[in-house]
């Protein structure tokens, strides 16, 4: 059986499974659409949270970013995992105890203001739409290679699949679909990693293989990789090259952005009890760790395999002839995500650190998907990695689209425009708004502002600067009032958007293109790192505006105390 047919069968089987689950678990009420009827078992919810959390950025792009960035990009690992712990400990149990459906609903009630709820809806939509662009980018990358269609066609197919199971099933269908997607993605990620670790180090556990010896040289694999990179003129893999300030702020932006992501937070609204929210958070961390402990090894080994492909004779002075390139290079060239430019006309693939002399351009997002082909693994492994990459992208896209849909139908339409709307019409509005969100996300996914992980990092910065501070102040402060919360969210979101737009050249302002992440506007702070500064501005503005305006009403102070008092671990006190 040829590789294309095998890819089609494996990917098609997983898609059929997702759609079948969505039909079986179709939401019949707003409670099932928004929160799966609050009946999901903690272990199942932990697995679904893992799939929701581990997006195309984690599966497809993170190891690719690490492969080319080395030590500096370890911030992705520290920020995303640390942020999840922050979310599980500081936010999830309290928000579940509050007993609402959405994050804007909590903010609106806690800050006793429809305006605060509306501003939270805006912040949620901006962050979630930016995030979903990264997922659609990943879908396009996977489809374009493994189903041999254009990037745009791949996006359209992925959008159609998400439409079928997300619009039909709502949170109930998405939850059980994500359980299946987690199983697919973790198997797809782990099996190739085990094979490649065995090939390069003889160790079947990739995380341990990263610190083992290269079977060819007998030297530690990271030392071998550093030597190859040095010979080719690339930066050292294990040394820090970014500034400490930017790396700290980037890690902090990812951490607090994680804790402010609405599509992850709402997962904790689906369990029966507050104690189940804590339990499912623990299970989710276990499921997430299985991939995150493997990703650094996948990144390093992918980079080694790439170099060994271009320089197959064991010496960096004898590059491969372009005409003798392996099939995987030809396959990825067709997608436009890997290109060769014979600058010196010698017919050899000169892969070097000097940008002016380098002839091989490799998109970071292809490394995990191409790794099994580079390592010449069996065809079924290649098909499995394709299914896993799509599962990761689609599972998170569905969660994000549900968060957007819920914000529009529940918080905007029911909460502000038409409070008397019937449950049937609210459910219809939720499905229509999700369909519109899918169309918008697909359109924006055709022209993303960066690699999948970079685009997602921008979304985390937006969530960090707007939603996270509001949630933290809403739970742990009795003095922040409605005016302070609104001013803080607008200030944090506004300044972060401005900084990102200036560095991406998205504003039609003269001379703004002089600001880039290579030459930042403020010190060494890149656009992906500015979320932490935006969050600080949010906190400061909220504090001073609240201090200079009216006190928080007594009933709201009582509400804050009722959320924070550690009682209600059992069902008798739960909402």
DSSP 165-220: IIIHHHHHHHHHHHHHHHHHHHHHHHHHHHHHHHHHHS-SSHHHHTTSB-TTT-SB
pLDDT at 225 exceeding the cut of 90:
yes
Identify the pLDDT of residue 537.
98
How do residues 453-474 score in pLDDT, each as one tens digit? 567 778 889 999 999 999 999 9
Name the residue with tokens 């030809």: 330
How do residues 551-565 score in pLDDT, each as one tens digit? 999 999 998 988 876
CATH 3.40.50.300 fits domain 3-301+377-415+424-453: no
Mean pLDDT within 127-139: 80
Name the residue with tokens 């359109």: 443
pLDDT at 301 exceeding the cut of 80:
yes
How do residues 339-358 score in pLDDT, each as one tens digit? 999 999 999 999 999 989 99
Mean pLDDT within 273-282: 82
How do residues 404-436 score in pLDDT, each as one tens digit? 888 888 888 988 889 888 988 988 888 888 888
**Apex 77 CA angle, 88 and 466, nearest 5:** 55
Mean pLDDT within 366-385: 88
As a whole number, the mean pLDDT across the chain is: 85
> Domain ranges in the chain?
3-301+377-415+424-453
Kindly report the pTM of this predicted structure. 0.85
CA-to-CA dists, residue 385 to 100, 109, 142, 341, 389, angstroms:
38, 44, 9, 28, 6
Are 430 and 405 contacting, i.e. CB atoms less than 8 angstroms apart?
A: yes
* Cβ within 8 Å of residue 212, ≥6 positions away: 201, 202, 203, 220, 221
How do residues 229-245 score in pLDDT, each as one tens digit? 999 999 999 999 889 99
For the ranges 200-214, 268-282, 487-501, which has the lowest average pLDDT? 268-282
How do residues 311-327 score in pLDDT, each as one tens digit? 988 778 889 999 999 99
Identify the pLDDT of residue 514.
53
Structure confidence at residue 169 as a pLDDT band (50, 70, 90): low
pLDDT at 519 exceeding the cut of 50:
yes
Separation CA 493–CA 296 (nearest Å): 32
């Amino acid at each position: 059986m040829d590789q294309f047919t095998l890819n089609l069968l494996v990917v098609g089987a997983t898609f059929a499974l997702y759609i079948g689950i969505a039909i079986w678990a179709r939401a019949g009420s707003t409670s099932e659409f928004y929160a799966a009827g609050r009946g999901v078992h903690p272990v199942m919810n932990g697995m679904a949270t893992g799939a929701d959390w581990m997006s195309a950025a984690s599966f497809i792009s993170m190891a690719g970013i690490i492969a080319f960035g080395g030590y500096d990009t370890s911030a992705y690992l520290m920020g995303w995992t640390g942020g999840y712990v922050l979310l599980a400990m500081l936010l999830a149990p309290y928000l579940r105890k509050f007993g609402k459906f959405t994050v804007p609903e909590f903010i609106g009630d806690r800050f006793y203001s429809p305006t605060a709820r509306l501003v939270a809806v805006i912040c949620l939509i901006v962050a979630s739409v930016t995030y979903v662009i990264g997922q659609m980018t990943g879908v396009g990358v996977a489809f374009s290679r493994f189903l041999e269609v254009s990037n745009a066609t791949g996006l359209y197919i992925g959008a159609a699949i998400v439409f079928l199971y997300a619009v039909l099933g709502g949170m109930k269908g998405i939850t059980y679909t994500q359980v299946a997607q987690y199983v697919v993605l973790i198997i797809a990620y782990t099996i190739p990693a085990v094979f490649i670790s065995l090939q390069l180090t003889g160790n079947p556990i990739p995380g341990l293989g990263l610190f083992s010896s290269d079977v060819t040289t007998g030297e530690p694999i990271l030392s071998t990789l550093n030597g190859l990179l040095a010979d080719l003129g690339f930066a050292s893999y294990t040394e820090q090259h970014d500034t400490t300030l930017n790396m700290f702020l980037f890690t902090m932006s990812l951490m607090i952005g994680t804790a402010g992501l609405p599509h992850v937070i709402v997962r904790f609204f689906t369990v029966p009890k507050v104690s189940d929210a804590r339990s499912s958070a623990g299970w989710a961390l276990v499921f997430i760790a299985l991939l995150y402990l493997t990703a650094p090894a996948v990144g390093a080994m992918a980079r080694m395999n790439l170099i060994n492909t271009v320089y197959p004779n064991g010496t960096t002075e004898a590059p491969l002839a372009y005409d003798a390139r392996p099939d995987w290079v030809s396959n990825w060239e067709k997608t436009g995500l890997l290109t060769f430019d014979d600058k010196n006309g010698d017919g050899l693939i000169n892969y070097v650190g000097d940008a002016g002399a380098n002839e091989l351009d490799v998109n970071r997002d292809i490394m995990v998907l191409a790794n099994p082909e580079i390592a010449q693994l069996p065809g079924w492994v290649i098909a499995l990695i394709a299914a896993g990459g799509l599962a990761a992208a689609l599972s998170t896209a569905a969660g994000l689209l549900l968060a957007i849909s819920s914000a529009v139908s529940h918080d905007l339409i029911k909460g502000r425009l038409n409070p008397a709307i019937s449950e049937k019409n609210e459910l219809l509005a939720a499905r229509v708004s999700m369909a519109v969100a899918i169309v918008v996300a697909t359109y924006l996914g055709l022209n993303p502002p960066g690699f999948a992980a970079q685009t997602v990092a921008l979304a985390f910065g937006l969530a960090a600067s707007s939603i996270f501070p509001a949630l933290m102040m809403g739970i742990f402060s009795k003095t922040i009032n409605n005016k302070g919360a609104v001013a803080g969210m607008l200030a944090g979101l506004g300044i972060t958007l401005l900084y990102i737009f200036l560095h991406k050249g998205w504003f039609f302002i003269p001379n703004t293109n002089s600001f880039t992440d290579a030459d930042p506007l403020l010190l060494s702070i890149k656009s992906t790192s500015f979320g932490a500064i935006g969050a600080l501005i949010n906190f400061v503005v909220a504090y001073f505006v609240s201090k200079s305006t009216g006190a928080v009403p007594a009933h709201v102070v009582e509400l804050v105390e009722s959320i924070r008092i550690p009682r209600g671990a059992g069902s008798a006190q739960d909402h």
